[in-house]
Structure formats: structure tokens, C-alpha cells
Structure 1
Amino acid sequence: MIGRIEAFIRKLRRGLSRSEWLARLLRLPRSAGPATEPGLVLIQIDGLAHSQLSHGLKQGGMPFLQRLIKRERYRLHPQYAGIPSTTAAVQAELFYGIKAAVPGFNFMERASGKLVRMFEPEITALVESKLEKYGAEPLLKGGSAYVDNYTGGAAEAHFCPNALGWGPSLRESSPLVFVLLIISNAHSFVRTAALLVLETMLALVDCIRGLIDGHDLIAELKFVPTRVVIAILLRELAVIGVKIDIARGLPIIHLNFLGYDEQAHRRGPSSEFAHWTLKGIDDAIARIWRAAQRSAHRHYDVWIYSDHGQQYALPYHQVHGRSLAEAVAELCTRQLNEPVTVQSNGPWGIQLHRVQFLGGKKIQRLLPVRNNSQAEVESPQLTVAALGPVAMIYRNGELASKTRAELARDLVEDAGIPLVLIKDAPNRARAWTEAGEFMLPEDSIQILGADHPFLEEASQDLIKLCHHPEAGEFIACGWRADGPAYTFAIEHGAHGGISPEETTAFALLPNDAPLPLPTRQRGYLRTADLRQAALHLLGRTESRMAQVRQWQGSVGEVLRIMTYNVHSCIGMDGQPSPERIARVIACHRPDVVALQELDVGRARTGGIDQVRRIAASLEMNFHFHPARYIGEGRYGNAVLSRLPMRLIKAAALPRLSKRPELESRGALWVEIEFNGMEIQVINTHLGLSPRERQMQVQALLGAAWLQHPSCRSPAVLCGDFNARPSSAICRQLRQRLQDAQLELSRYRPRSTFFGRFPTARLDYIFIDSGIEVLNVEVPRAELSRLASDHLPLIVEMRIPARTHLSRSDRVNTPESAGLAKGNG
């Protein structure tokens, strides 16, 4: 009854949802798939290094992300961004599977000889057309993209260089729809307006501070609209759009938050103003996550990651009194004994330009797009593309090998550039630093430092960068392992280079995310791993089997046992989903799982063999005992495990002969081999009548079950007992066994029923006296509260090594061998 009320409330909430109404008003298409299909929302926090996120979490600046880690079983992974550490390169790897698709954020397109930046529509369209031609399947196919470099194959893209503004749906709507849109989202628009006013005031305060510190007035004034437009307006519009897409059930949605990256470029990655933007991003993620949990059209995962980090850097021209282009021109003139014509970027950073391009024609009229070339130069002899800590230096015409080496050395010694590289033989590169000349990959430690977290992979990527067809003949890097870092733009936070801060991004993922096996061996992710996991989650890998959730089992004497009444896998939203139950189990990584109320072949839950579906998803063996036969279907209990397991007994429990209307009940006894021991595990689900439960407990404590000669210690009895701790049967059971929730010191036993608002303790794990309880969990994450009307109970226990196998040839019996082959 309570479950039906909960489902009605959720349905009513969806009916009143602003996102649902907006989707209807704009006549946007909806997902045609079943409501149990997986969906994925990928949220990118642009430019946020793993270390800066960790600092923000520790300081309490991102409370919702902290909640995801502590309560929702999310795990923080370090992620290697690759070289170049830029959004354009990382998103190409994520969306199309191609690493280092571009040599940097700013480079010279050799076909035209023009300097290009990877937020300009023409160049991003050109690069993406090549990605579509040579890359793998677009990740965002059928979904949507917000504030990205590329569309990623998305059916709908917004605020991307190739898809400016909100999109055709809003532009083609009638004035009435537009008015209704504003009315229905009045709260969001008022919120956005208030935030815009607040952020403008903060931006002006920051501007005054910048002037006091000696910064340029014009540059500071231009930074005000950047803060406001990107940190607030663009963020809020994108969040509204993502929530609409969730309400429609799009299969995959990708959103990029630019606010932190913009602030970090200007003030530095650890500055207060950069971290201030993380508070707003954290709140925006919370709103998206809640919308995803309420979706009636898909089971959404929400993954949060960053594309790269930022390194605090000093502007090169401020330190050396001239720009990099001027330094290069002077050296080349001296080297070649003739004047050298140079085209280059000016020293400006990327602030304001992304606002201009992403904002569409109206913003561009308000803030004209400036050509960053210092001068229009016809047939330049040198081109310098420098918009960050990595500069590409192009030479029109070949240089002799000796001349190239001498110029590279002079760039280090005379121009003060920390590192200069040129390509050498295939899979090799030459490098110069203050310490001398080196060769990659042999001398990677001298270039990157012995403590670089991705030493081998970064060395290989650096070599590939030197050989990139669009890279310059010389690559100048502003970072060094033992000194201050330089950037070739006016900024204090830089990325695109090779430093640990720039290359160490992060991925915040649910504990059961289907990551490839090599990531667990490496200890960190690469963007390609994130792509592979996303495709697997969405069922777009070659083998479209049920989602496999992988983990390592317990080690030593510690065993984790879960008991879980899954309510026929029907959640609090009224939707049956064995996959959701599998996710709850996988998030908590038990070694043994005792499940009650499973349907096998029953029409009410789609005729699915629920236990086989869950076991296959978890890669576990199982045994199933049907307590009831209903037509062609069955209903009962199961035990699942990856440990060696054999069935001892599966039988019905006593019933009241005068109450034939009561459900038949049963128990399932398996023997688990763990750490050289045989552990007896009995799973049961008792009746609703007190007299019936009394009979059933007496049977379980008797000679047929716990007192049977084969039921040697250690033994575990678990399941749904439909009784409170103070009941007669619980008191009787505690005379023979220990209630695990009462054995942990300074622990308050927790209720497991009703799932959304648990008020009763009906699920138990009873253990032998020799077993030590180490930890007890009753998860109250959103997924756990949604998946069933009960919460799972997990007990982590230490079992002393005292009961050893009596025969060395003890193996799995035929009925329990193999993946997801059960007795039933």
C-alpha cells in the first residue's frame, strides 16, 4: 500500500515538473525505449585538477559531491588527461576514441597556413568532420551536448561552436510558448537573475582588487562579462536544458561547466575566486542528479569528470620583457643573418573569446571578436602559435638538422624557455633543457621528473605530439620539474602542457561503474577508459549482455554477507528492474548475497528469470529455491556468490494447516568455501502469522537445519523474518545465535523496512558466536531507497580459520559450477 502511494507521489511530481512541461511546450521528441533502459549524464568540470577537487572537498566547498562519495557510494579516481592536456584533445578521445586529435588548443592549420583556436566554428567543424570519418562510433549519438568543443554525434547540440545558442526548438516556438516557458520556469529565471546581480558585484570587487594589484584596467573590465556570462548565465541555461533532456529520456547527455576554468586562467587554479565558482557548479550538479533520479523514462547514471587540470604559471612576456614571438624572431634573425617575418597570436588569453563565440551573433555584436594576430603578414617565414604553456613554432621551409638543433638550444639558453622539443626518428624525439640535450623516450625522467604520475605514458604522448602532422617544427614548453612554470599568454592558470597538475584530471563515478580491467591494474583512468565504460553501460559494446559489475572480493579472514528482500525487483516507483537490484548489490561488493522475493517467469514482472538476470549481471553463481509455484512462474529465495558454493538443502518450511491462504515459505542452505573453510549459509523468508513464524523458527533451529550434523560451525542464518527484535522468535533465535546488528560496539541497530522511510527492523543476519562482527551497513543511498521496499543489510565479519576442508578434492558440484547456472 505504501509503495503504491510512493509511486503515485512520484507520478504526480513528474506531472508537475517544469522540465516535463517545457518538453511538451517545445514539442520535443521523447525516448521511445522502455523505462528500464540505462541512460547516462556525463558532467565535465572544465580545467579542475584532481588535487584542486580534493582541496575543494576537504574545505567543504562542494558538499553535494562529498555526499555522493560518503552516501551514494561514488569513488574518486585520478584520470590521465593525455598530452596535449586540452579540452579539444580530451573530448576527441572521449567522443570518438582518437587520442591527441589536435596538437593543442591553438595551432597553425597547415592546409591554409592560418592560426586557429579550438573554439572557432570553422576549425572545430573541420576537425570534427575528420573525427567522424576516421574515429569510432560517436559517443553522444542520439543524445545531447552542452557547451562542448564538438557535438560528439549528438542529435541536439547547444552552446557549442557548431551549434550556437539554445537551438532551433526555442527559436521556432511561438511567442505564447515563450511566455509560458518563462512563467513555468519563473523560479529558475528569478534565481538566474539574482545570481547574475550577485556575480556582477563580485566581479566588480575582483576587478578593483586586480587594479590594486597592478593589473591592466581594460583587461580587468573585459573579465567582468566573462565571469557573469560563463559562470552564471551559460551554466544556468545549460542546466535547464539538461533537465529537460532527462525528462525526455535521451539516452546520453553531456554537459561542460566552463566557470572554474575561466576563473582559474585569470586568477590561478587555487585562487579563492576560482574555487568560488565550484560552489555554484556543485549546486548545479545536485539539481541535475536529483532530476536524473526522478526520471520516469530511464535509469540514469550521473558521472562527473574533468578533462584536465591547470598549472599556476607566470606570463612569459612579463618575466622576460618581450613576447615569445619577439624572442623567436630575434634568434632566427641572428641565426640566419637576415630579417625574419613572423605571424603570431598576441599575448591575450582565452577569456572573453569563448563568450563571444558561444554566445552567438548577438553577443558577438556586443563584444566584437578580435583577430589575435599581431599583424597581417603575407608569406611569413615563421609562425608562432602560443596560447598557453605550449607553443608551436612553424618554419616556412626546411632547416638543416644542425641549424634546427642550434636554434632549439638557443631557445632554451637565450630565450629562457624551459623545454624545447623537435621530432626525431619514428617514435623518438629530441629535447633541450637548461641541463643539456636529451632523447625521448630514454631520458623521460630528465624531462618530466622522476615523480611524474604518468611518466611512461606521458613520455610516449610527448613523442607523438612532436610527430603530429599539425604540430610545429619546434615545440616550446613552459613547464619544468624544478622551477617556475611559464605560460605564453596573459594568464596565471595554464593548461595544454605536460605538468602533473595539467595532466591529472579526475573521474567521480559510482562504485559499480563498469571500468575496464586495466584501470584497476594501473590505478588511474584514461579518457578512453571512460568512453569504453560509457558505451558498456549503454549496451553499445559488441556483446550486448546484461551490465557486468566487477569488483574484487574480500581478502583474508573478512567476509561480507548481504541479505536483501528485493520485492520482486519492483521499486518504489512501481517499475520492475532486476538491473537496479544488481546495481545496489554491486555498489556494496558483498561476497555472499541472500535474496528474498524473487520472481522467475511470472507475468507480473515480464516473465523474466530475475535471479538469473541478476547473477549474470554480477558474474555470480547462484542457487534458487521456489517457495511458491504460480501458474508457469515461480517465487522464492536465492543465494549468490563468486566463491565456491554447493547446495546442501532447499525445502519448504512448516505451514498452518488451518490457514491455507497464507503463502508457503521456504529456506535455502548452501555451503560456501572461503579461505580454506566451509561456511554454512541459510537464507529464509518467514511467514506473516506469529504462530506460523514460531513453527518455522523451531524447524530452522531443529535437526533438519541448524542442528543437522552437516551444519558445522561457522553458520549464518539470514533473511526477512517479518518480526521485530523484541518478538518471541527473535528472542528464541538469539539463544542459539547472535544478532549481528547487536554485536558491534557503539552501533545503533538500523531499520530496513519500509525502504523510503524505514521504521521497522525485519531483516536479520544471525551468526555463530565464534564470528566477529567488524562492520554493519544499512545503505540509505537514493538507489537503495528506490530499488525495493526493503533496504539491504550488509555485515562484514571476520571468521577465524578453524574449520578446514576435510577432503582436498572438494570442488563445486555440477549443479553449481559455471556462471549463473543455478539449482531451481
Structure 2
Amino acid sequence: MRTWFAFTARDTRDLLLSLLPTAFALWISAHLVAGVEVSSPFWLLASAAVLAVGDLVVRPLLGPLVAFLGPMPTVLIGVSVQLLLLHTALTAVPGLDLRDLNALWLVYFWTGLVAVVARWVIGANDSRWVVRELLRHRPRPPGEACPPGLLVVQVDGLSMPLLQFGLHSGTLTTIARWLREGSHLAEGWRAALPSTTPASQAGFLHGSTEDVPAFRWWDPELRRVLVSNRPADAAIIEGRVRAAAHAAGRTGLLARDGASIGNVFSGEAGHAHLVVSTSRAGGSGRPYLRYVARPFVVLRSLLLTVGEIVKELYQGWQQRVRRVEPRIPRRGWYVLLRAVTNTLLRDLNVVLVAQELSAGRSVVFVDFLDYDEVAHHAGVARAESLDALAGIDRVLQTLADVAAAAPRDYRVVIVSDHGQAQGPTFEQVSGRHLRDLVYDLMDREGPTHPVVTTAAGEEMRGRVDVLVRDFATSTRAELVSNRHEEVVASGRDSVVVATAGCTALLSMPDAPQGRLDLDEVGRRWPALVPGLVETRGVGFVVGRRYEEVVVVGPEGEHHLGSGRVEGVDPLLPFGPRAAGELLRMMRFATAPALFVHSTVDPVSGEVHAFEEQVGSHGGLGGWQTEAVLVHPAEWKVAEDLRDRSVPGEAPIVGAATIHEQLVRWMKEVDL
């Protein structure tokens, strides 16, 4: 058996591949920057080695210091250390001469830029050396069995049909190799209504999705809108979900020395990084030290961020030139947010996961939302969306390499929280925003009534806000946390319209629990419900009539409690499970007065988002409920967890069921 410190031919190759790009970049920089002279290319390789060794020596010494300084000073210290190491590499190595200190910045820039390009061209992968550096103080004892561990990677928005396409197209090479080698199995599971990230993560991490009806909703207890990507609101939601789970005898998935990274909720983890619900101002910079102190890593992220901005602008322009339909304008803050999400946040997540694996956490759960956000704006299976998906697949291999060298025997599970359905937006189909339609229908029968709507913000904005909070001062962090606060609706006849993908929740703040009976809605606004269901792009409206939950369509009604259908069943295009899921959601304490859902095309599965999204989720229809579970082949899905309520089908249904299955697998391996 090979010991931890054994050195192989592959290790030699990896070492050279990690040094050659840096040496090549230094050589290019020496020719581009005045004030640097090189007598022989050999000394450039020695200089690259000095950088690598200096990084290994200096960074452990910085750990105790930055633990007390916070993230922002850590960044400054990290960059300063990189410049100091570069200066040492250019002055201490014979055959190199740095004559102008001001040239150091230019050398730093050009070396970082060329190294990024060179590594991309030759396909250099120094993940094995990252593993060695991470675990050099925690070697696996030779001959001893390692305790088990679990790494759960959430690929946000990945649907089962797209996974199958990715296996054939070469987009998902890592997952494809695992499946073909037989180490893992893949199957779809149904993301029950609402098919949103907060609902699914509440189920995954806490075992309950109770009272989470959408991404944002009017809360009758707090009498304001709750939005799950706000730190303060996410903390409230997690507290409620945790209480419901504990009442049912469930504890958080990560409660036993687990780590939650980049998620909406913590899962009761003792180690939470970039988690919305536990976000706080400032904190220790130690988790980010490995990222910011490595030579050229921060510069690499900045350069890739700029590259991602250019790529997004080009891809959006290409959609317009080629007249790709459906499409939406891809401008404004989204361009920068996409760039940050697909580079900086992804890199930070990888480093943080690697650190927690090296620390031997029992369970690590991380969310990569790159694909989901690009698909919202570009389309579900468009080239740029698949490119983001391929990037996550490459990350999976790096994490698998880290897991293989960690002090635990980690098994890797891949899960998605939902899929995505594509289609032109509701505004493109109907000619106006849902907010304006509701306003018009309410105004037909009398004076103008106020309508308060929520902003169609992106999920990624919440994660970026968490990053800003973590790096900002306390005062700045609170400003970031509260800057999206909406006006609280009040007064008779006011209506809150909260959109979430192809669904919208209408609540009446002046009514008990924000709800009115369908008959009362008809008396106040006779044109509202009929006008909604007659509008192109609206599939049905759900409300209550004498304690019965009723689905109203353009040509009929479906009474969910009794199952009675009058006329044409409005739920027919949405499948046999739609009725039960709608009934469950409408019984939540947070359920709206009216639940509006878009139409679904029976052939293409296209839906119409009430937000500016080409790809959307949150409701029923298309690929949005067809989520993914990839698990070790020796771990079988329990048959009693499969739902056989529909003849001929036996899928896993609901994120809480995924939680139960993960818990059972953990018990099987004594985790």
C-alpha cells in the first residue's frame, strides 16, 4: 500500500505541470515589462519553485494572525504576501534581476494573466498538490480504516432530462465516468410544489418543507413579505422549519459536526460558510486565507470575472443577432452577478469544501448555483447554460480528488433541488406584467386600489449579499441586508402580488391570514378571477370556497378536497400529482388567498414565468419538477420511500424524502 508521502511518476508530472505555467508566465512577463531581466530560462523554473515553496511556508504562519483580523484585512495581507513572494522570486534567484520596483505590479498582472491562459491550454490540474497541501498535517494512518464521511453536492436547477443530455453531449464528463464505471447510479426524483431552492433545501437539510410556499411570500404573522435570499428572512424561515422538523422528531442533516457551504439554510451545521440564514457581519478571515494568500489566485479570479463579463455580453449579443427565441434582455446587474457567481463564489466554495473535508467533517453540503442562474436568463439548454454546467462538472472531479485524500472515507452524492422549464415570459405572451393585469382587473369595478408587488430579484443576488456581509463592516453589512426591503402593504383592498417563476401568490393584508374566500373576492373584485383565467398565459387560479380548496380554470373547476371536477379539469395538463401537491401547499399557514399558475404546453413543456426569466421553476410542468439524485451504487434507495400513489410510477417525491434517505444511508455506514 502506498504511503502518504510516497512520490510517483504522476506526482512528478503534476509538479512540473504546476510549475511550468508559472515559469512560462514569468518568461512572457520579463519580455513585456521593462525593468526585468532574465539571463537563462532555467532560472524561471527555479523562480516558480520559489513561489510554490514560499507559499507553503508563509501561509501557515499567517493563519493565527488573520484569525483575529477578519476577511477584508485577510485579502489585503494575502495580496501583499503574494507580491512579497514574487519580489523574492525575482531577486533571490540567480539569473533574474528586478531593476524597477514599480515593475512588480506589472509582472504580477502579466504573470497571473499568462498563467491562467497557459493552464487552460495545457489542461494543468494541480488538485493533487492542493490535496497534499491541505492534508499534510493530517496524513492517513497507514493500514488503518478511515471513518466514513458524506459529501453532498447540490447542482442547482439540474433536471433529469438535462442530465441525460449532458451524458451524451460530453458536458458532464465526470458524472458520465462515474456512471459508466459503475461507482454511482442516477435517478430522477420529483421536486414537489413549490419547486424552489428554499423549499428543497429546507427539506434536504432539515427534513421539513412546512410553510415554505414559494421563494417569496406575504407572511401573515409578520405582516410583510418574506424573501428567502435575505439573511434576516432566511433566519426566520429556518427557525420555523427547524421547529417543525424537531416536532416531527427530525434533526438537521449537518447537526453532528457537519459543514454547510453556500446554502440558504444551515442544516444545524456547526461550521457554516456563505450561508444566507447564518450570515453575519465580518468574522474570522481564516476560512479565506487559503484562497487569498495563494500566488495569483485572487488575480486569477478577477481576470476570469472580467472574462465572464465579456463572455456574457457576447453571448447576449449573439442571441439577439441570431434571433433566438424566447429570450430576454441580459443587461444591468445580472452581467456582473453572473461573473461573480461563476468565478469568485465557485472558487470560494471549492476552497471552503476542501478545507472542511481536510478537517474531517462528518457531512459536508455545498450548493453550486452557477447553472441555475445562467439558465434563468439564457435558457435551459442553451450553449452558455451548458458551459456553466460543464464548469460545475469539472469542480466535481476536484472535490472527488480532495475527498479521496481526506481523513475520512467520503462518499459523494449529487442532488439537484429542482429542474427548470423554459418558455417566453408571461409579459411576452400577454403583453403586460402580471402586476399591471391585476391592477387593471381590480380597477374595473370601482376606484383604484393599491397593489404592492415584490421585486423579481435573482437568487444569486442573495448569495453575493452574503459574501459582502461577510467581508464588510457591521454598519455596511446591515445596509446590504436591508436594502431590498419592500413597503409593507396596509389598508382595505390592498393586494400583495409575490411572484416566483411561473407562479404568483396574491394575498390581502386586511383579511385574516391574508386570505379571502373566492366568493368574497368576487364581491370585492368581480373581474379579478375570471379575468385572470381568461388571460393568455394563465393556466389556473387556486382559492378557497367554504373551506374547500378550488382550482379555477377557463373552462372548469377542480375541487381538491372531494376530487369533484366541473367542466374541463384545469389540472389535466399538469399530471396526476398536481392536485395533491396544490392541496398540501394551500393548507400551509403561509398560503396565499389566490395562487396563480401559468399555462404549460402539453408538447414542449413550456411555461411562462411571471418574472423576466426564460428558464424558470417554482411550479408545475416541464422539467422543473424533474430533479436529480446521483448516489454510490452500493447505496440503494429504500423501497418504502418511493411514492406509488400513481399506477405504474414509483419515484421519490419531495425533498423531505431525500433527507430521510440521506439519514438512512448515514446510519448504514455508522455516520
**TM-score > 0.5 by shorter chain:** yes
Q: Does 1:9 align with 2:6?
A: yes
Aligned to 1:529: 657
CA distance, structure 2, for counterparts of residue 19 and residue 530 of structure 1: 41
Q: Does 1:538 align with 2:538?
A: no
Aligned to 2:226: 116
Give 1:393's aligned amino acid. Answer: L
Alignment partner for residue 270 of structure 1, among 370, 381, 405? 381
CA distance, structure 2, for counterparts of residue 21 and residue 277 of structure 1: 34
Alignment partner for residue 582 of structure 2, among 462, 465, 489? 462
Counting matched residue pairs gives 526
* Cα distance, 1:518 vs structure 2: 2.5
Alignment partner for residue 196 of structure 1, among 276, 301, 305? 305
Give 1:251's aligned amino acid. Answer: S
Preserved CA contact (<8 Å) 1:47 1:261: yes
Aligned to 2:638: 516
CA distance, structure 2, for counterparts of residue 121 and residue 469 of structure 1: 22
- Measured against aligned partners, the alpha-carbon deviations of 1:669-704 in whole angstroms (never above 9, x if no partner) come to xxxxxxxxxxxxxxxxxxxxxxxxxxxxxxxxxxxx
Aligned to 2:623: 501
CA distance, structure 2, for counterparts of residue 465 and residue 508 of structure 1: 28
Question: Cα 1:484–1:138, aligned 2, differ >3 Å: closer, same or farther?
Answer: closer
CA distance, structure 2, for counterparts of residue 289 and residue 260 of structure 1: 20
- Measured against aligned partners, the alpha-carbon deviations of 1:770-815 in whole angstroms (never above 9, x if no partner) come to xxxxxxxxxxxxxxxxxxxxxxxxxxxxxxxxxxxxxxxxxxxxxx
Give 1:413's aligned amino acid. Answer: E
Preserved CA contact (<8 Å) 2:441 2:531: yes
Alignment partner for residue 394 of structure 1, among 475, 491, 507? 507
Q: Does 1:158 align with 2:285?
A: no
Preserved CA contact (<8 Å) 1:210 1:220: no
Give 2:317's aligned amino acid. Answer: I
Map 1:72-111 onto structure 2 (within 5 A): 72-111=182-221
Question: Cα 1:139–1:6, aligned 2, differ >3 Å: closer, same or farther?
Answer: same
Question: Cα 1:22–1:423, aligned 2, differ >3 Å: closer, same or farther?
Answer: farther
CA distance, structure 2, for counterparts of residue 150 and residue 134 of structure 1: 15
Aligned to 1:593: none
Greater radius of gyration (CA): 1
* Cα distance, 1:528 vs structure 2: 2.9
- Measured against aligned partners, the alpha-carbon deviations of 1:329-353 in whole angstroms (never above 9, x if no partner) come to 2222335x34211111245655645
Which structure is richer in relative contact order (CA contacts within 8 A, separation 6 or more)?
2
* Cα distance, 1:284 vs structure 2: 0.5
Question: Cα 1:309–1:340, aligned 2, differ >3 Å: closer, same or farther?
Answer: same
Q: Does 1:308 align with 2:401?
A: no
Preserved CA contact (<8 Å) 1:159 1:166: no
CA distance, structure 1, for counterparts of residue 258 and residue 238 of structure 2: 17
CA distance, structure 2, for counterparts of residue 322 and residue 278 of structure 1: 32
| Equivalent position SS for 2:624 | helix
Give 1:146's aligned amino acid. Answer: I
Q: Does 1:44 align with 2:157?
A: no
Map 1:581-600 onto structure 2 (within 5 A): none
Runs (5+) with no aligned partner, structure 2: 12-51, 68-136
Aligned to 2:431: 321
Q: Does 1:281 align with 2:392?
A: yes
Aligned to 2:542: 421
* Cα distance, 1:404 vs structure 2: 3.4
Alignment partner for residue 258 of structure 1, among 349, 357, 369? 369
Question: Cα 1:535–1:35, aligned 2, differ >3 Å: closer, same or farther?
Answer: farther
* Cα distance, 1:321 vs structure 2: 2.9
Give 1:409's aligned amino acid. Answer: P
* Cα distance, 1:250 vs structure 2: 0.4
Aligned to 1:722: none
- Measured against aligned partners, the alpha-carbon deviations of 1:486-508 in whole angstroms (never above 9, x if no partner) come to 11111111110011411110101
Aligned to 2:318: 209
Aligned to 1:139: 253
Give 2:663's aligned amino acid. Answer: L
Question: Cα 1:162–1:438, aligned 2, differ >3 Å: closer, same or farther?
Answer: closer
* Cα distance, 1:25 vs structure 2: 6.4
Preserved CA contact (<8 Å) 1:158 1:165: no
Map 1:661-672 onto structure 2 (within 5 A): none
| Equivalent position SS for 1:282 | helix
Preserved CA contact (<8 Å) 2:213 2:585: yes
CA distance, structure 2, for counterparts of residue 311 and residue 20 of structure 1: 50
CA distance, structure 2, for counterparts of residue 530 and residue 376 of structure 1: 36
Question: Cα 1:218–1:78, aligned 2, differ >3 Å: closer, same or farther?
Answer: closer
Map 1:357-756 onto structure 2 (within 5 A): 357-360=466-469, 378-379=490-491, 381-395=494-508, 396-397=510-511, 399=516, 401-404=518-521, 407-414=528-535, 417-424=538-545, 429-440=549-560, 442=563, 446-449=569-572, 452=575, 455-456=576-577, 458-482=578-602, 484-519=606-641, 523-526=650-653, 527-539=655-667
Question: Cα 1:23–1:87, aligned 2, differ >3 Å: closer, same or farther?
Answer: farther
Runs (5+) with no aligned partner, structure 1: 540-544, 548-578, 580-824
Alignment partner for residue 69 of structure 1, among 155, 179, 200? 179
CA distance, structure 2, for counterparts of residue 327 and residue 247 of structure 1: 54
Compare the two structures and name the one with the higher helix fraction: 2
Preserved CA contact (<8 Å) 1:265 1:494: yes
Give 2:541's aligned amino acid. Answer: V
Aligned to 1:760: none
Preserved CA contact (<8 Å) 2:517 2:544: no
Aligned to 2:235: 125
Preserved CA contact (<8 Å) 1:192 1:232: yes
| Equivalent position SS for 1:383 | strand
| Equivalent position SS for 1:477 | strand
Question: Cα 1:399–1:30, aligned 2, differ >3 Å: closer, same or farther?
Answer: same
Aligned to 1:299: 409
- Measured against aligned partners, the alpha-carbon deviations of 1:24-59 in whole angstroms (never above 9, x if no partner) come to 964799999996321100000101111111111111
CA distance, structure 2, for counterparts of residue 19 and residue 286 of structure 1: 23
* Cα distance, 1:81 vs structure 2: 1.0
| Equivalent position SS for 1:419 | strand
| Equivalent position SS for 1:273 | helix
- Measured against aligned partners, the alpha-carbon deviations of 1:736-756 in whole angstroms (never above 9, x if no partner) come to xxxxxxxxxxxxxxxxxxxxx
- Measured against aligned partners, the alpha-carbon deviations of 1:286-327 in whole angstroms (never above 9, x if no partner) come to 1001111112x2110110010001111322223323221221
CA distance, structure 2, for counterparts of residue 163 and residue 22 of structure 1: 28
| Equivalent position SS for 1:124 | helix
* Cα distance, 1:172 vs structure 2: 9.3
Question: Cα 1:315–1:54, aligned 2, differ >3 Å: closer, same or farther?
Answer: same
Identity of aligned residues (%): 23
- Measured against aligned partners, the alpha-carbon deviations of 1:199-244 in whole angstroms (never above 9, x if no partner) come to 2321231243366569999951322211211111101110011011
Question: Greater shift after overlay, 76-85 or 202-211?
Answer: 202-211
* Cα distance, 1:439 vs structure 2: 2.0
Preserved CA contact (<8 Å) 1:390 1:488: yes
Preserved CA contact (<8 Å) 2:421 2:616: yes
Query: Could you tell me the TM-score, scaled by structure 1's length?
Result: 0.58
CA distance, structure 2, for counterparts of residue 93 and residue 203 of structure 1: 33
Question: Cα 1:259–1:109, aligned 2, differ >3 Å: closer, same or farther?
Answer: same
- Measured against aligned partners, the alpha-carbon deviations of 1:164-197 in whole angstroms (never above 9, x if no partner) come to 4897342699xxxx5x8655x3375565455334
* Cα distance, 1:60 vs structure 2: 0.5
Preserved CA contact (<8 Å) 1:345 1:374: yes
CA distance, structure 2, for counterparts of residue 324 and residue 19 of structure 1: 57
Alignment partner for residue 342 of structure 1, among 420, 436, 451? 451
- Measured against aligned partners, the alpha-carbon deviations of 1:714-756 in whole angstroms (never above 9, x if no partner) come to xxxxxxxxxxxxxxxxxxxxxxxxxxxxxxxxxxxxxxxxxxx
